[in-house]
Amino acid sequence: MEPPDPRNLVPPGRTAQFSAFVASVLAVAVLVSAPALVSLATTLPELPVAFWTMAVLAVACDARPFLPPGRRQSSSAVFPSTCFTFAILLGWGLGPAVAVQAVAVLVSGVRMRHAPWRTAFNAGQYACSLAAAYAVTRLGPGDVFAGGPLGWTDIAAIGGAGVAWFLVNYGLVTAAVRLRFGERWWPNAWHGLPFELLSTGSLLLLAPVLVTAARASAALVPLVLVPLFAVYRMARLTVEQRQLASLDPLTGLANRKALLAEVNEQVHRHAERGARGEPDARLALLLIDLDRFKNVNDALGHAVGDRLLVEVSARLTDVVEPPDLVARLGGDEFAIVMTGLTDVTEARALADQVVRVLAEPVPLDGLPLDVGGSIGIALYPEHGEDFATLMRHADVAMYDAKHRNDTVAVYTAESDHNSAERLGLLADLRRVLEAGRAVDGDAPVDAPVVRGGDGAMLPASPPVDERPGPRWWSRRRRRPSLVAHDDELIARIVTGADPILRRAARSAPSAAPTGEPWADPAQAAVQPDPAWLDGQPDPVPSDADPERGAEPAGDAGEIMMYYQPQIAIATGEMVGVEALLRWRHPRRGMVDPEELIRVAEQSAVMRLLTRRVVDDVVEQLAKWSAAGLHLRAALNVSVRDLHTGEIADQIADRLTRYGVAPERLQLEITEGALMADPRRVLTTITRLHRIGVGIALDDFGTGYSSLQHLRRLPLSEVKVDRSFVLGMTDDTDDAAIVRSTIELSKALGLRVVAEGVEDERTWRMLHAAGCDVAQGWFYARPMPAEELVAWLARYRPLRPLGGHDDTDTPRRPGR
């Protein structure tokens, strides 16, 4: 059943004011045209044949007006009677013009199924327009076409009459639309003005020519149908071309351009509904992406793929009822616009119905093809107030559904990894990385270079003897020597550039204890917060203004490395550190590391970030070696880093440049990175192993094919995931997993590191299970490199004493 024309309906809540407006227009029309219509009874028999010819043509042409498809401006149809009635006005006065126009409006109203009140209003509006035009002509020298040549005053009167007719007619129609639908006056009036000027203005300008021809001979009047028909055909062809430009040539559905126009218009309409407090003031944009369509194209060819798309479009059209719109965006992406919604439940219901329809196999050439779909939903106004925002959020929701192996997902900010906030964060990250690179520059290859904490270049220490020795470094630490320089100012600058030297300078005036600097045994494993180890607050960044308490404009913060100690459980010695990335943002403070990686790993910024991390860690190892601290540092790398051999070349270059032995560095990779592209990842890992860099399998047990990885990869270490370690004191399953992992790794000759060690009982259970190394807050939190030096000066190795009481290990209850 065809839906009723909305222009025949008056929305609730506006009936009184709109009815008053219609009644006023009709009253004015009767008032200005009644005298002329009364006098028409006496003059009607005297009217010439030319008049009757024009009258018949006006009524006949309005029986089939030109309706531009898809137009929804304040006035859409083009009525050719305008040309004839305006010519009658110029030639024979107001009465005959109003009478002919009223009959033409009545015929067109019946033909187009207008409501009676709408037909009456149209007749009244035309009567007012003709009366305004007639009044302008009376301001001239008299009857324009009374005979004789036309003067400039006659031409001006004709032009003025046409302008008056257009302004009154267009103004009344636009005001009526404003009162009925609550739409803003100026945007709609301005949007429809060009079309009205071209169509109606052309008809008004043709009227004087028609009157002149009628004065010569009535037989010339029908000839005007030829240019009218030509204009009609040209207009229709133009509209059809525009319509084709808005249609998908394969499926016949609306394309992206038409979808853009529809959403923009519906957003405006629903904004008006929301302003009136109507409940159905929401619209939904559903974005559909077909699953497994690429497989069909690759296996059966694009011709079969096109037929499949046509079948899918037919199914979508059957499910979606007008006035909702179905569009094809290109490829295997479709979109649906739902209007007049109260909440997202209705959009979900339609999405579920679409999923069920798409789940049915499509038979093509006797072969049933299974093509499902993933649907993302964005709702106006909750998820966006314009087409671009709604489209982007629906796309985010659609990919969220794919990643969760679901069929339908509604947009949530949590799933939007490319929100404006995150894009701004990504821009800040790129800026701080590029600024760091500009400051650092490239160090000469022939000599190792040591930088301070603020990036200043420092003199390199003498080469450190890297002869093979024990893995653990000596318990007695020696403080770095203070920088001596003839120029006191240069000495102060150089000393202040390095955090380690700066701390040595601060502690130099005080009397050094003669005994070993070990901490109280009762506090050996309980460390204070790293920010307060030396009783001093965090240093104020050099580019901040302490008096204003604000960061300078354009500052992107500071990228730094924190290091968490890794302790040999059996001896209590620190055998290495894990390097952890931190970003102090000027507005957001410390950025969550997981969010930092999420922001960077999907862009080219990840390459800059990896380069920065490798540079800083290798450089820090060189500084520690220069200070006599021979540590091993482990750092994490992303999937993107392992897909190319660039990281292997970079690490080899930095190790050579800073004079660091390869065994001092270890890369931690996750099983997820291995599964992304095993062949390329294995190639990169093998190159790093040949260089001498250690490889550790991080988060062991949380991925897939773990045993296969242990067998195939050149690993030196396995890290037990903290999710198992944290629960092993209370959960028998977690404890069993940890013990089994340790036994398996030991059998394969791999070192085992446990993450997340936060209490003494867990530490003792790991020792009993044979774990090699532990890290966690039981020993120390992650801290900057300079804080780590202070922590080492206070730390006293903690060794397990005696045997292990088996009662500490939870046992699975009997079954």
Catalytic positions are: 755
In the numeric block, the tokens 């800059």 are attached to 608
Q: What are the two backbone dihedrals, phi and then psi, of residue 465, each rounded to the nearest 5 degrees?
A: -70, 115
The two three-digit tokens of residue 197, written as one number = 């000027």
Sorted by sequence, the CB contacts under 8 Å of residue 812 that are 6+ apart come out as 732, 733, 736
Burial status of residue 433 (CB atoms within 10 A of its CB: 0-12, 13-18, 19 or more): buried
Task: Report the C-alpha gap between 636 and 609 in whole angstroms.
Answer: 12
Sorted by sequence, the CB contacts under 8 Å of residue 158 that are 6+ apart come out as 90, 137, 144, 208
**Type of residue found at 66:** F
Closest CA to 791 of 541, 580, 517: 517
Closest CA to 632 of 697, 715, 710, 567: 567
H-state helical runs in 464-544: 488-497, 499-507
H-state helical runs in 112-220: 116-138, 152-181, 185-216
> If you count them, how many residues does the chain have?
815
Separation in Å, CA 86 to CA 39, 123, 137, 666: 19, 14, 12, 90
Task: Report the C-alpha gap between 124 and 131 in whole angstroms.
Answer: 10
Closest CA to 117 of 38, 37, 13, 19: 19
The answer to whether 565 and 574 have CB atoms below 8 angstroms apart is: yes
Sorted by sequence, the CB contacts under 8 Å of residue 697 that are 6+ apart come out as 668, 669, 670, 671, 706, 709, 710, 713, 715, 717, 718, 719
The two three-digit tokens of residue 550, written as one number = 């604000």
Separation in Å, CA 385 to CA 264, 374, 542, 807: 9, 23, 42, 63
Task: Report the C-alpha gap between 439 and 524 in whole angstroms.
Answer: 40
